[in-house]
Amino acid sequence: MTMASYKNYSALEAAELRVREAGEWLKLEDGLIETIVAPRRIIEVAIPFRRDDGSRDQLTGWRVHHNTTRGPAKGGIRYDIDASQEEVEALAALMTYKCAIIEVPYGGSKGALKINPKDWTKPEIEKITRWFAQELIKRDLIHPAQNVPAPDVGTGADEMAWIADEYRRIYPTDINALACVTGKPTQKGGLVGRSEATGRGVQYIIRAFFQHEEDYIKAGFKGGLKDKKIAVQGLGNVGYHAAKFLQEEDECRIICVMEHNGAILNPDGLDIEALKKYQLEHGTFEGCEQGKFEKNSSEFLSIDCDILIPAAKENVIDESNAAAIQAKLIVEAANGPITFAADEILNERNIMIIPDIMANAGGVAVSYFEWIRNLRHIRFGRLEKRRNAYQFDTLISAIETMTGKEMPEKFKEQFIEGANEIDLIRSGLDDMMSEAYQKVRKSLIENNIPNLRTAAYKVALDRIAISYDSIGL
């Protein structure tokens, strides 16, 4: 059964179809495929709530526990008025495959509350979060060894801190209580670098792509990553960090940034840091002197650029605009930004796509580091820091003795100080994203698979299938 035979599927249906197609490449039996795609548990909760003004609301929330064969279920909790059970099921499944691709010992999960956080006060959000957490905790859907949430759309470090506090209150003797959730504030057991992680991972996966001349020539590029023209859809946490790092560290030109209320364009490149500051102050790009402002931002998905990074909403590239896309490479920083039908069109046009289950895995990678740190109860690098400093000091002395010259102070400081925690986290993330790309690329080449998405699903499915086989299922 070919991809071309399918049209207009939901995100959940599309994920299942892609798993089944990967299963054909692996020659997996149908029964195992059915086992893998089916969620283990789906919980819907109703939360009665009295607002600060005395009015009453009934809130609906979900937590989907998709798979735990490779380890505890991992996945964010979002607050979104458009959330639905089907969406949560799809995102939970994607987490299972995403964790398998980057080889972290997790299965997939996802949660959502059907609310618009902008419509509620912060004290109300805290009460809602704590109540939702209680409902999930008593069902073991928040637990360091079973199900570990993280921030998602509409949630952040504060919500994760409240959830951790509720867990600790209910289980005061659990020494690993802080590991029940990731994405916490740093003073509450969180990890430096977590907020940048997904965007940083996007940067690293693009770097990995451009390390292979064969790949970027096939996509129509000449030369490496430097000075490539990039368009970014969404300047939220993910889009901002991806654009910022690609501009500042890789010398790319961010020529267009699109938001729901308008786009800003400058062929010479935008200053992302200054643009983000302007957006936070004004809520829009309109009036910003960096570039030309256009109200209808969706039109600029087809802008003439080298790399397109959809980093916000699902389904922004569909049948209506896929044929107009001019980018040579699309990097799915958001979950499901390309519909199933649009994916077919883009593949037929030989536009390279780095799929979401690989491209935006940086968040769960660093979440894994935070979880490990919470379980170890000691920060990364703490035990070896002084030993390494002594070794580097000895090395500097030896170099100075052999050369008869004193090493410049700035180099001495870099040697002796060594790597701090954020350096170690970034190094680990870079390694995980690069290795994931190498494994997917190898699978694509060795099996003559037509695109990176199918190859990524094959890699994920192979690892999940092995985990089932290892326990006799």
pLDDT digits (tens, 9 = 90+) for 449-462: 999 999 999 999 99
With a cut of 60, say whether residue 383 has pLDDT above it: no
pLDDT-derived band at 400, boundaries 50, 70, 90:
confident
The answer on pLDDT for 2 being more than 50 is no
Q: Confidence class of residue 1 from pLDDT cuts 50, 70 and 90? A: very low
What confidence category does residue 412 fall into, taking pLDDT thresholds of 50, 70 and 90?
low
Q: Is pLDDT of 184 > 60?
A: yes
The residues spanned by each domain of the chain are 40-192, 197-362, 381-420
Active-site pick, 74, 110, 184, 244: 110
- What does the pLDDT read at residue 5? 43
pLDDT confidence of residue 8: 75
Identify the CATH number of the domain defined by range 197-362.
3.40.50.720
pLDDT tens digits along 141-181: 999 999 999 999 999 999 999 999 999 999 999 999 999 99
On the question of pLDDT at 97 being above 70, the answer is yes
pLDDT(290) > 70: yes
| pLDDT at residue 416 is higher than 70 | no
Arithmetic mean of pLDDT, 327-340: 96
Q: What is the pLDDT of residue 417?
A: 61
pLDDT band at residue 402 using 50, 70 and 90 as cut-offs: confident
Where residue 471 falls (left for φ over 0; alpha for ψ -120 to 50; beta otherwise) is alpha
Mean residue pLDDT across the chain: 92
Check if 110 is active-site.
yes
- pTM here is 0.90
In CATH, what number does 40-192 get? 3.40.50.10860
The pLDDT, as a whole number, for residue 56 is 92
CA angle 465, 470, 473 (to 5 degrees): 70
The pLDDT of residue 471: 79
Predicted pLDDT at 335: 93
Q: What is the pLDDT of residue 358?
A: 97
- pLDDT for residue 407: 76
Confidence of residue 6 (pLDDT cuts 50, 70, 90): very low
**Which of 428, 442, 445, 451 minimizes the C-alpha distance to 345?**
451
pLDDT given for residue 4 in this prediction: 45
